[in-house]
Chains A and B, each alone.
Chain A
Amino acid sequence: MSDLRIHGIVLSGIGGQGVLSLAQVVLEALRRSGFHALQSEIHGMSQRGGSVHAQVCFSDVPLTSPIIDEGCADLLIALEPLEALRYTAMLRMNGQLVVSEEPQTDMEGYPPLDDVYAALKRLRGCHLVDTEDLARRLSFRQAGGMALLGLASAFLPVSDKIWQEVITQRFEPKGARVTEKNLEAFQAGRGLVHDPVGA
């Protein structure tokens, strides 16, 4: 990936799911991999259970714009299926989506779930992850984000060693068990089949 191209990642979800924290892990991992990287996030009202999204741009050359233009992102990591659909227009034609199947329906007018899944499945490069099942299997309620990142890591130029280092440093202050569980969730995501569901 040593060219002038600017790569973009969009991360989305709802307040409290850890979208910004996940974005920071991605930013740090890319920086340690030798890229120039920028992250943009919006705080404020979004903290109270509203939609939250962050963007990470990276390149071999120094960057100044933290925002990705529509149709230019390479990867979308979404912690909630409806929150994935909001940002599909950000993706380039052959961009990839890594999306949690677990809906957060506590809002007015959430569309029928079948419609949401169908819309996602129509998109080429969409990987749906049953984070609820994964969390149960790992006995770790917050496994979802790290598992999605594990799967998404297949599309990012970061070595396994750097991912491990960054995740460890991030969660170390919260204790050995939390760190271990996050590393486990990341590896579980990484082990998932990479065949996208979309046609």
Chain B
Amino acid sequence: MHTSHPENLRVTRDTEHAHHTSCFDKVEACMAQSTLTLGVEAVGCAAFDAGIMGAFGYPGTPSTEGFEYAEAMIQAQPEGRVAQWAANEKVAYDLALGVSYAGHRSLVTMKHVGLNVALDAYANSALTGVRGGLVLLVADDPGMHSSQNEQDSRKLAEFAWLPCLEPSTVQECYDFTWRAFELSESLRVPVMVRLVTRLAHCRAALHRQEPLSPSGLGVAPKETVQDWVLIPSNARRRYLDLLAKQPRLIAQLSPMNQLVPGSGSRGVVVSGMGRAYFGQLALEHPELAALPRLEVAAYPVDPRLETAFLFGLEDVFVFEEDYPVLEERLGFRGTARVHGRLDGAVPRTGELTPRQLKNALTLITAEGKGAITLDLPLRAPRFCDGCGHVDAYEAMQSALQNLGVPDARVFGDIGCYTLAAQEPMGAIHAVVEMGASISMAVGAALAGQTPSVAVIGDSTFGHSGLPALLTAADSGVNVTIIILDNRVVGMTGQQPSQALDQVERMVLGMGIPEAQLQVLTPLPKQHETNVRALESALRYPGPSVIVFRRECVQSLRRGVLKEHDREAEARLEQACCTPELRP
């Protein structure tokens, strides 16, 4: 499948050849037997096999394992490749764009709301274009299993005038990612591979292709400066180029979208999991296989294909995951009645299910054992036993109580510590997006709210709390910022935090005076000390920062930072013993 790679001549020096052969033996052994992988892992695996030089990302369910799979493969077989978590999604995207500029293939991974953070980079990279193939893995979360919204990344691809591929099986996750790299290089634009939770976390057998070694086109030549420097005069021309490229883009994507002829006046349009569910239903209900069908796997869709499909149809059912993207387009295009999320044939929000397809197509559903009459309360997630966040929140609540403001409104942020919004703790009262706690607290303080408190984790602080803290320090208002430093990205599986061992220096560097920074240990036996420290911070009329530091109990159990801490200790010892460094 990797034929359209004309400029990517494989650079293989003789000395490297023997090494490659042995690696290929291993991979061949691995390929002989298919492996069971998650859909999102299949994307990471394909990116490795397609010869990426770099993989980047910021953790976020359900995208995390895509980066981690590529990372594991790169660590096992580096050959100059790199895998690096970034401070946030925008940084990750720019890292990938830099690799592309240097002439290599790169993968960048994030969840749907992460693309909002990276949108500036993503939308503008449509104008610069790419050199080495750049593939963006975005995992959407319809039904909001672990997200604050269910926005549809296909809309952002359309917004940026960029192609989006939408697989429906684990194998397609792999195959489409290969295809995405080829398209990216032949069209010279970034290509999005869009997954949804159900596919990202579907596990199935995967068949790999023979992997490519990372190779390069060399750094962008100097004359491309007119493409890469987006000053208005260049940007105007590049925007026209991007628009002029659209017909070619549609033509190259077109083979991925299929018009399957059938009989009758009813037709179906399927994409993503809708395509997967419909395909399987058609196995059980052969009459469905006779319906005229439009199968969409790549966007933008050729309008002529849509028109050809709609010809002669009276009723069209659209099964797509998330927003009514195809449904809206088809509704404008003909006289057929279009049924989907907009007319209620499918619920307006939430995850698509096979049952919804059956209901819309009025298929008979199975009579099962039936539900239980007993009332079943939800089992909500909760803090781990011994979690330091609990001690920090308890100290905060006691301090607020002691100051006579037990019902203070506290701004929270995104991570495990968001669980504190649940009753009975009810310790935070607004959680919007990564980094919002600090800026919202400053805003509220500027509007006169006292006390104004923000609670943010160390990784979220590094992600987008930093610029907010710069503004907080500059504002001079009475705001208390509590940084819960558990040293890892706890929620998504204890990835190392980029802010590891740096939080105090970061706080001071943003302009918070040393006297207004306190570092505390969240432990029950420290409760009284912690409460007093918080009270003084809350009373202080300007911005102050409290850092609660204790490692996440899960990462401690797994020994995630063991080696890091041992090395740090050894370095410290060595520094102490070196005579010239002694004071």
Contact = CB atoms under 8 A, between A and B. Distances in A.
A138 interface: no
Contacts of A109: 377
A63 B168 CA distance: 11
Contacts, number: 152
A175 interface: no
Nearest to A120: B372
Contact of A50 (B367, B370, B379): B379
A131 interface: no
Contacts of A4: 283-284
A88 to B, nearest CB: 5
Contact of A65 (B203, B354, B367): B354
A40 B381 CA distance: 20
Interface residues of A, number: 55
B279 A64 contact: yes
Interface in B47-73: 61-62
Contact of B369 (A47, A48, A88, A107): A88
Given A38-B204, A45-B145, A115-B374, A71 B276 contact: no
B374 A85 contact: yes
A111 B366 contact: no
Contacts of A158: none
A51 B279 CA distance: 30
B486 interface: no
B372 A72 contact: no
A44 B371 contact: no
B277 interface: yes
A92 B170 CA distance: 27
B368 A41 contact: no
Interface string A107-124: 111110001100100011
Interface stretch (A23-31, A149-157, A180-188): A23-31
A31 B368 CA distance: 27
Given A43-B61, A49-B381, A82 B376 contact: yes
Interface in B182-237: 197-199, 201-205
B283 A72 contact: no
Given A50-B381, A67-B198, A28 B36 contact: yes
A95 interface: yes
B365 A111 contact: no
B419 interface: yes
B10 interface: no
Contacts of A41: 201, 203
A42 B366 contact: no
Interface string B156-184: 00000000000011100000000000000
Contact of B168 (A28, A48, A64, A90): A64
A196 interface: no
B565 to A, nearest CB: 24
A142 interface: no
Nearest to A90: B368
A38 B277 CA distance: 13
B383 A38 contact: no
B380 interface: yes
B376 A72 contact: no
Interface in A1-54: 4, 6, 14-15, 24, 27-28, 31, 37-51
B333 interface: no
Contacts of A48: 381-384, 416, 419
Nearest to B172: A64
A132 to B, nearest CB: 19
Given A71-B366, A123-B369, A15 B169 contact: no
Interface in A63-85: 63-67, 69-73, 82-83, 85
Given A31-B36, A44-B61, A92 B369 contact: yes
Given A44-B62, A45-B146, A111-B374, A67 B353 contact: yes
Given A69-B358, A119-B374, A14 B379 contact: yes
Nearest to A44: B146
State which size class the interface on B falls in: 35 or more
B369 A93 contact: yes
Given A45-B145, A65-B354, A39 B368 contact: no
B381 A67 contact: no
A41 to B, nearest CB: 5
B368 A93 contact: yes
A38 B381 CA distance: 26
B365 A47 contact: no
Contacts of A28: 36
A24 B203 contact: yes
Given A45-B145, A47-B381, A49-B382, A69 B365 contact: yes
Contacts of A73: 368
A136 interface: no
Interface string A143-177: 00000000000000000000000000000000000
Contacts of B273: 65
B61 A69 contact: no
A45 B203 CA distance: 19
Nearest to B279: A64
A86 B379 CA distance: 11
A61 interface: yes
A42 B366 CA distance: 24
Interface in B318-374: 353-355, 358, 365-374
Contacts of B145: 42, 44-45
B373 to A, nearest CB: 8
Most buried by A among B199, B358, B369, B372: B369
Given A69-B355, A70-B368, A43 B146 contact: yes
16 contacts: A40-B202, A43-B146, A43-B201, A45-B145, A48-B381, A61-B283, A64-B280, A69-B355, A71-B365, A71-B367, A72-B368, A73-B368, A82-B379, A88-B371, A95-B369, A124-B369
Given A66-B202, A69-B365, 9 more contacts: A6-B284, A40-B203, A48-B382, A48-B419, A65-B281, A66-B199, A66-B276, A73-B368, A91-B368
Closest 8 A/B residue pairs (Cβ): A71-B368, A44-B146, A50-B381, A48-B381, A71-B366, A109-B377, A44-B61, A65-B280
